[in-house]
Amino acid sequence: MEQYVIKGGNPLYGEVEIGGAKNAALAILAAAIMTDETVTIDNLPNVRDINVLLQAIQEIGAKVERVDVHKVKINGSFIREVSVDNEFIRKIRASYYLIGALLGKYRHAEVALPGGCDIGSRPIDLHIKGFRSMGATVEIEHGLVVAKTDRLVGTHIYLDKVSVGATINIMMAAAMAEGKTVIENAAKEPHVVDVANFLNSMGANIRGAGTDVIRIVGVEKLHKTEYSVIPDQIEAGTFMFAVAATGGDVLVKDVIPKHLEATTAKLLEVGCKVEEFDDAVRVISDGKLNHTQVTTLPYPGFPTDMQPQMAVLLGIAEGTSTVTESIFENRFKYVDELTRMGATIKVESNIAIITGVKKYSGARVNAPDLRAGAALVIAGLEADGITVVDDIYYIERGYEEFEKKLSKLGAQIEKVSDEKELQKFILKVS
């Protein structure tokens, strides 16, 4: 089992390049099979979830040509079945995008029920409500979501809760439905806009993405395109918070600063300096942080995917802070691990009350999910002594070469695969 081993205490300096947005790329890859022409997608992050989805679309017959690690060509004309199931796809949440894509194109989809990080109950009732209101029958049969119809017809859909997944999924199916679909109370996340732009570049007719009303006029066919995925705001935010925690001065490159506004606002509140450029942000921190309050909200609010990283920062900020999680009910599973590193955190319902300590102390901890895993790495970078993070499988679902990018900034971190390598690292750094 691979682990990260970290010797904390080094401030971070230099430049880091941010990759393409995992959550945008997952939806775009699924949407790419909706045309029979060849689609080229660039700026893909080379992470586990992306590779699982590529494998799945290949298994149903799509031709996938890896031009390089960040670029693929996909041709959906060879698809011979609409049933997607394997042990890996069951573990990723974004498998649900194949329902919208296949239903839109073939009027029939059978996809394994989505898994993903265990951060609370993750229903897909809103996705199903959307497909049903477009005329599809949707049933759960033997662990698969089976959706089919003879006619997929545009309609008016109100989402009871703001959902990124449901918004994108319904938008994909509607792109090839008959007539007009209106999605109200739609999610406004940058990746919703990116998927809409991608579909439009294939000939779809989608207006209003990025606002809470999206209007889609279905088209009969989609065509080839070349597209580059937007930068990953969560990867960027994670590096920005790492610098804030350890102290230092880092230029985070290849980002869209507007997408980082909520993250930047919190960094300013805790006492860091942030400079914005056209496609980069510079974070300067002396490692001394002030307390604050934060509540996760749909975009443009503070992202739930940055919540554990924020808690790690506040764990070493002066005074008492609160973190309120309003999207997922089970997103404080890292608190016990962080407590083992010396944090003082009390969780009451969906609020974490954090009393800052001077410093974390290195310990052996488990990554409970993707973002919490990254947050524990940040704690390890700041901590006294050695931290070992187990279950880094989760972190690799969403961060490409995380330890290499951090090392380049001056962190002492290595990926090890056995006790011998671990001891070798400890000997080297002590």
Q: Choose between 53 and 317: whose C-beta lies nearer to ligand UD1.
A: 53
Q: Choose between 240 and 317: whose C-beta lies nearer to ligand UD1.
A: 240
3-class DSSP assignment, residue 409: coil
Q: Is 123 in the site for ligand UD1 (CB under 6 A)?
A: yes
Interacting stretch for ligand UD1, rule CB under 6 A, among 35-43, 54-62, 116-124, 215-223?
116-124
3-class DSSP assignment, residue 194: helix
Q: Choose between 325 and 414: whose C-beta lies nearer to ligand UD1.
A: 325
What residue ranges in 162-287 does DSSP mark as E strands? Answer: 180-184, 205-207, 213-217, 225-228, 248-253, 273-276, 280-285
Least distance between ligand UD1 and beta carbon 388 (Å): 26
Residue 272's alpha-carbon distances to 248, 268, 287, in angstroms, are 10, 5, 8
The residue whose two tokens read 């806009």 is: 193
Q: Is 20 in the site for ligand UD1 (CB under 6 A)?
A: no
- Binding string, residues 126-155; x marks residues near ligand UD1 by CB under 6 A: xx----------------------------
- Binding string, residues 77-96; x marks residues near ligand UD1 by CB under 6 A: ----------------xx--
**How many other C-beta atoms lie within 10 A of the C-beta of residue 223?**
14
Q: What is the DSSP string of 355-397?
A: E--S--B--EEE--SHHHHHHHHHHHHHSBSEEEEE-THHHHT
Q: Choose between 29 and 124: whose C-beta lies nearer to ligand UD1.
A: 124
Least distance between ligand UD1 and beta carbon 322 (Å): 20
Q: Extract the tokens encoding 184.
A: 């109200």
* Residue least distant from ligand UD1 (Cβ): 165
Least distance between ligand UD1 and beta carbon 277 (Å): 26
CA 426 to CA 97: how far, in whole Å? 43
3-class DSSP assignment, residue 257: helix
Catalytic residue from among 5, 50, 52, 117: 117
Q: Choose between 328 and 425: whose C-beta lies nearer to ligand UD1.
A: 328
Least distance between ligand UD1 and beta carbon 98 (Å): 12
Q: Choose between 369 and 382: whose C-beta lies nearer to ligand UD1.
A: 369
The strand pair at 83-84 and 108-112 is best described as parallel
CA 236 to CA 283: how far, in whole Å? 11
Interacting stretch for ligand UD1, rule CB under 6 A, among 71-79, 145-153, 156-164, 220-228?
156-164
Q: Choose between 7 and 91: whose C-beta lies nearer to ligand UD1.
A: 91
Q: Is 319 in the site for ligand UD1 (CB under 6 A)?
A: no
Q: What are residue 250's DSSP bridge partners? A: 14, 283
Cβ(263)–Cβ(303) below 8 Å? yes
CA 256 to CA 279: how far, in whole Å? 5
Q: Choose between 138 and 354: whose C-beta lies nearer to ligand UD1.
A: 138
CA 313 to CA 410: how far, in whole Å? 19
Q: φ and ψ at 350, to 5 degrees?
A: -100, 20
Least distance between ligand UD1 and beta carbon 206 (Å): 18
Cβ(93)–Cβ(114) below 8 Å? yes
117 flagged as catalytic: yes
Cβ(242)–Cβ(56) below 8 Å? no
Least distance between ligand UD1 and beta carbon 180 (Å): 22
In what helix (H) or strand (E) does residue 150 lie, and over which residues does it extend?
none
Hey, which residues between 327 and 386 contact ligand UD1 (CB under 6 A)?
A: 327-328
Least distance between ligand UD1 and beta carbon 305 (Å): 5
CA 187 to CA 398: how far, in whole Å? 21
Hey, which residues between 157 and 196 contact ligand UD1 (CB under 6 A)?
A: 161, 163-166, 187
Binding ligand UD1 (rule: CB under 6 A), the pick from 73, 122, 180, 408 is: 122
Least distance between ligand UD1 and beta carbon 410 (Å): 29
Q: Is 309 in the site for ligand UD1 (CB under 6 A)?
A: no
Q: Is 305 in the site for ligand UD1 (CB under 6 A)?
A: yes
Hey, which residues between 224 and 283 contact ligand UD1 (CB under 6 A)?
A: none
Sign of CA dihedral 8, 377, 300, 294: negative
The strand pair at 248-253 and 273-276 is best described as unpaired
The residue whose two tokens read 């698969």 is: 144
Interacting stretch for ligand UD1, rule CB under 6 A, among 124-132, 240-248, 350-358, 387-395?
124-132
DSSP 8-state secondary structure symbol assigned to residue 61: T
Binding ligand UD1 (rule: CB under 6 A), the pick from 65, 125, 275, 286 is: 125
The strand pair at 344-348 and 351-355 is best described as antiparallel
Q: Which positions are catalytic?
A: 117
> Residues interacting with ligand UD1, by CB under 6 A?
23, 26, 93-94, 122-127, 161, 163-166, 187, 304-305, 327-328
